[in-house]
Amino acid sequence: MTSASPTLAALARDLAAGRTTSRDLVEECLARIADKDGEGARAFTAVDADGARKAAGAMDQMRAAGALLSPYAGIPVSIKDLFDIAGQVTCAGSVVLKDTPPASADAIAVARLRRAGFVVIGRTNMTEFAYSGLGINPHYGTPRSPWHRAEGHVPGGSSSGAAISVTDGMAHAALGTDTGGSCRIPAAFNGLVGFKPTARRVPLDGALPLSAHLDSIGPIARSVACCATVDAVLADESVVPLPLRELAGARLLVPEGVAFENIEPAVATAFERAVRQLESAGARIVRRAMPEFDEVATINAKGGFTAAESYAWHRWLLGTKKDAYDPRVSVRIMRGTEQSAADFIDLMAARRSLVARASARLAAFDAVVMPTVAITPPKIEDLADDAAYGRANLLALRNCTLINMIDGCAVSLPINAAGEPPVGLMLAGIAGADRSLLALAAAAEGVVVPAAN
């Protein structure tokens, strides 16, 4: 392998040149998962070592025979435990579903990854039923962020194991979901890149839902180009290089207001440094209020779409198995009982208005720029108190949720310097601007991401 943390492009070159094999890549990932001193037991809920070895062997044989394969054929990836994988039970980080029948087919997102030749190495741990931004799981354990790992900091959620699988070299990209930040928060807390596409870009078929209005499917990986590659596969598009974008002249909105309330000093310092770097590269920074963002908390005062739609899905299970749920998850789902049909109709109307007004306001800008998360990853032990957990969870989710609510797309880039706690910079755009945003993020990546990341 080219380095300790190779990109997908580097791995593809190594495979093509014969410097490595798919079987080698799989064995290296499996060894890291099995390391008793590592995070594998907490990052994965299930590992398909036999299946991964067989798939890798097949890819190697076809490549040796001169078959025309995808450049990424044979590269191991992880799958969040929210997705159906044929022959496996989808537990969604819970014990409630352990006795349900195995899936009869792969989720569309998983099937598309397999079609591109990626090797599925296992199912990653997550916040139960994807309902938290911190990544704590009382059933399967909580994987620890690499930041001062011995102290035990949260990995971010809900795609917690997904991020740790990539940081620790247990997979080379991860399939996640993002309803209110579940790809971007773990990316920010672990020095990775996370991409939340426009919600309708990737079909949700075969993914257990949290909120039908807000759910999206995206990757967590080591670079913007890696995320763009996986995104193209998931969207069933040709994998082609991102168009070159210049930062010079790009209009970037820094939305004054709620996105900057109660941010930690380390986050503010890293963010302002990144903004200066973007400005030095020629970007035009505009600091201006974004009134639509300030409306989101009021719109979601009764739990919003996640509470209403998750309760609709879980209400029968809660009637018989509530005691088996993580109480910090079930209490949030139960908030769905606070909404009447009229409330939900009002919620949909309020969001339609919000999306229309935010999209019109952002039409003059190439991207919105703000901290991905207002805080750095807290220690797991500091969240034992429910009140502390609740405060941290709200701050972890807040900024990312703003983008889901306006039906946008967004990328998180790691901007902390060596020795600093992990901080993410979020670039976001309006619905449908996915590839343009990724191209802009790739240009920003070369300016704001320190070499150590």
H helix or E strand, kind and range, residue 427: strand 424-429
Of the residues 78, 80, 165, 216, only one is catalytic, namely: 80
Instruction: State the catalytic residue, choosing from 132, 182, 211, 359.
Output: 182
CB atoms within 10 A of CB 388: 12
The four Cα atoms 38, 40, 41, 44 give a dihedral, to 10 degrees, of 160
Q: Which two tokens stand for residue 353?
A: 């208005």
CA-wise closest residue to 147 among 139, 132, 135, 130: 135
Give Cβ neighbours of residue 33 (< 8 Å, ≥ 6 apart).
Answer: 40, 43, 44, 47, 121, 122, 170
Q: What is d(CA 180, CA 77) in angstroms, rounded to the nearest whole number?
A: 23
Peptide bond between residue 158 and the one before it cis (omega within 30 degrees of 0): yes
Q: What's the rounded Cα separation, in Å, for the pair 383 and 393?
A: 10
Whether 238 is a known active-site residue: answer no
Query: Other CB atoms closer than 10 Å to residue 33's CB: what's the count?
Result: 24
Whole-number Cα distances in Å, 266 to 106, 272, 345, 373, 395: 42, 10, 40, 11, 15
Q: How would DSSP label each residue in 258-295? A: GGGTT--HHHHHHHHHHHHHHHHTT-EEEEEE-HHHHH
**Contact between residue 290 and residue 257 where contact means Cβ atoms under 8 Å apart:** yes
CA angle 46, 50, 53 (to 5 degrees): 115
54 is catalytic: no
Chain centroid to Cα 63, Å, comes to 31
47: tokens are: 């590992």
Give how far Cα 166 sits from Cα of 82, 155, 180, 276, Å: 17, 12, 21, 29
- In 94-223, which ranges are continuous DSSP H helix? 108-115, 160-167, 184-189
**5 in catalytic set:** no
Which of these is catalytic: 158, 160, 310, 359? 158
Of the candidates 158, 193, 190, 161, which has an alpha carbon nearest to the alpha carbon of residue 177? 158
Residues designated catalytic: 80, 158, 182
